[in-house]
Amino acid sequence: MTLELTRLNRRFSDYPALNDVSLSIAPGEFLALLGPSGSGKTTLLRILAGLDYPESGQVNFNGKDYLAAAPRERNVGLVFQHYALFRHLTVAENVAFGLRVRSRRARPKRQEIEARVEQLLKRVQLDGFGKRFPSQLSGGQRQRVALARALAVEPDLLLLDEPFGALDAQVRVTLRRWLRRLHEELGLTTVFVTHDQEEALELADRIAVMNRGRIEQVGTPREIYQQPATPFVCEFIGKANRLTLRREGARFLAGGWIFADEPWAGEHTRAMAYVRPEHLTLSTTPVPGAWRARLRHVYLAGSVAHLDLDVAALDHPLEADIASEDLARMGLQAGAQLYVSPSHAVIFPLDHDGKPVAEDRWLWRAGVVSPPVRLPIKRSEVELGAHRVDGGIQR
């Protein structure tokens, strides 16, 4: 039962909350909609739930026009960030709600409802909590009740809007792992809205990264992180140092470091490279071509150390991440002289107006002799050479 979204547009006043959004979600897939505040995630979810309608575009589910179906007919399970539990009903009554309000013909018998509620509470690890009221539960427990209530109607599609957004960091991590296991057991098609990249990277089969009502990239967490399709994805997912590359003949350089020595960028004369902090290699002894740097500050964050580096050859500082163990082994302290060289970069040529040309982006790796691999990108669909992802699940 593929869910096919085609060219959805939704405007509020003059603002395009959704701008030509197309997306294909495979049966049983866990898809995260990830993006900053106001990027259109909730609007997209509300359209799927039947709480809002686009001005144009189509949604097809299992071969049927989904937008023509009333919200009740869509058979979706919905969970929002703020526990929308009925406060005057017990946990069991909350879970049973969706079944009890069905028409007499569609409503299961009382004993059947009770058995299903018991089974669902067990599934969300809340057996024995049925007689409590929502006020007698923790935030994490309330969200699990909300999920049990959403699952009670045996939905074809589960829609979750920042379900763990109001919980503290540790509970969030526990609950998201629990949710992933539940998803694997149930095999339900799930769309999960979040602005937390870590949550999306850890949970989802695929992520759709949204920005200003558009989908910037759809791909597996690994693709999104390792092969970001646009500068926005580079900057929004993880951290990245941005470098301006200068062209000298057939070469593209930054601070003397050669990122390409082939005329690979066609007529482009400028380019921008993104280098992740973990893709900077540090040495205390000279390395040919490496940038000379001074260690300005060390931020120890448990197993990882974030280093601020001043590089004379570049016009701005760099951030490098190394294992804390390596920091200790190298005996590094503020003021140390280092040699820094990039190992990977994502490079976007710039057009005449200085705008990055996402379609011509290149992945660069140290030691990989030219020609570099070019990765053409199609919107809402990622084609990576022979490896194609299109609505399928790849982990």
Ligand X SMILES: Nc1ncnc2c1ncn2[C@@H]1O[C@H](COP(=O)(O)OP(=O)(O)OP(=O)(O)O)[C@@H](O)[C@H]1O
Please select the residue that binds ligand X; options are 21, 24, 29, 40, rule is CB under 6 A. 40
CB 213: neighbour CB atoms within 10 A?
24
In whole angstroms, the minimum distance from the beta carbon of 38 to ligand X comes to: 4
* Identity of the residue, 141 or 211, whose beta carbon is nearer to ligand X in the bound complex: 211
- Confirm or reject binding of residue 299 to ligand X (CB under 6 A): no
In whole angstroms, the minimum distance from the beta carbon of 45 to ligand X comes to: 8
C-alpha torsion 165→393→217→363, nearest 10 = 120
C-alpha torsion 174→208→275→239, nearest 10 = -40
Chain center to CA of 50: 24
- Confirm or reject binding of residue 12 to ligand X (CB under 6 A): yes
Determine the residue type at 19: N
Chain center to CA of 27: 19
In whole angstroms, the minimum distance from the beta carbon of 227 to ligand X comes to: 24
- Confirm or reject binding of residue 15 to ligand X (CB under 6 A): yes
Stretch of residues binding ligand X (CB under 6 A), selected from 10-18, 67-75, 89-97, 367-375: 10-18
In whole angstroms, the minimum distance from the beta carbon of 17 to ligand X comes to: 3
Phi, then psi, of 91 in degrees rounded to 5: -55, -45
In whole angstroms, the minimum distance from the beta carbon of 141 to ligand X comes to: 24
Alpha helix locations (H) across the chain?
41-49, 91-100, 110-123, 139-152, 169-186, 197-203, 221-226, 231-236, 324-330
Instruction: Count interface residues toward ligand X (CB under 6 A).
Output: 12
Determine the residue type at 122: K
Query: Which residues are paired to 190 by β-bridges?
Result: 30, 158
Stretch of residues binding ligand X (CB under 6 A), selected from 9-17, 299-307, 355-363, 368-376: 9-17
* Identity of the residue, 169 or 301, whose beta carbon is nearer to ligand X in the bound complex: 169
Identify residues 165-204 at the interface with ligand X (CB under 6 A). 195
**Which phi-psi region, left, alpha or beta, contains residue 315 (left: φ > 0; alpha: ψ -120 to 50)?**
alpha
Give the Cα separation of 313 and 292 in Å (integer): 8
* Identity of the residue, 46 or 276, whose beta carbon is nearer to ligand X in the bound complex: 46
Stretch of residues binding ligand X (CB under 6 A), selected from 12-20, 23-31, 132-140, 254-262: 12-20
Stretch of residues binding ligand X (CB under 6 A), selected from 23-31, 37-45, 241-249, 297-305: 37-45
Stretch of residues binding ligand X (CB under 6 A), selected from 34-42, 53-61, 88-96, 133-141: 34-42
Please select the residue that binds ligand X; options are 3, 23, 32, 41, rule is CB under 6 A. 41
What Å distances lie between residue 62 and 99, 165, 380, CA to CA?
24, 31, 20
DSSP 260-301: E-SSTTTT--EEEEEE-GGGEEEESS--TTPEEEEEEEEEEE
Identify residues 42-81 at the interface with ligand X (CB under 6 A). 42-43
* Identity of the residue, 45 or 377, whose beta carbon is nearer to ligand X in the bound complex: 45
Please select the residue that binds ligand X; options are 17, 21, 79, 167, rule is CB under 6 A. 17
Stretch of residues binding ligand X (CB under 6 A), selected from 41-49, 263-271, 295-303, 357-365: 41-49
In whole angstroms, the minimum distance from the beta carbon of 213 to ligand X comes to: 7
Tokens 């951290």 sit on residue = 239
- Confirm or reject binding of residue 32 to ligand X (CB under 6 A): no
Please select the residue that binds ligand X; options are 19, 23, 30, 35, rule is CB under 6 A. 35
Question: Quick one: CA dihedral 4, 378, 214, 390, positive or negative?
Answer: positive
* Identity of the residue, 39 or 197, whose beta carbon is nearer to ligand X in the bound complex: 39
In whole angstroms, the minimum distance from the beta carbon of 32 to ligand X comes to: 12
Question: Quick one: CA dihedral 356, 361, 367, 371, positive or negative?
Answer: negative
Stretch of residues binding ligand X (CB under 6 A), selected from 1-9, 32-40, 93-101, 172-180: 32-40
β-pair type (304-311, 344-350): unpaired
Strands (E), 26-111: 30-34, 56-61, 64-65, 76-79
- Confirm or reject binding of residue 285 to ligand X (CB under 6 A): no
Phi, then psi, of 218 in degrees rounded to 5: -120, 130
Give me the residues that bind ligand X (CB under 6 A), please. Answer: 12, 15, 17, 35, 37-43, 195
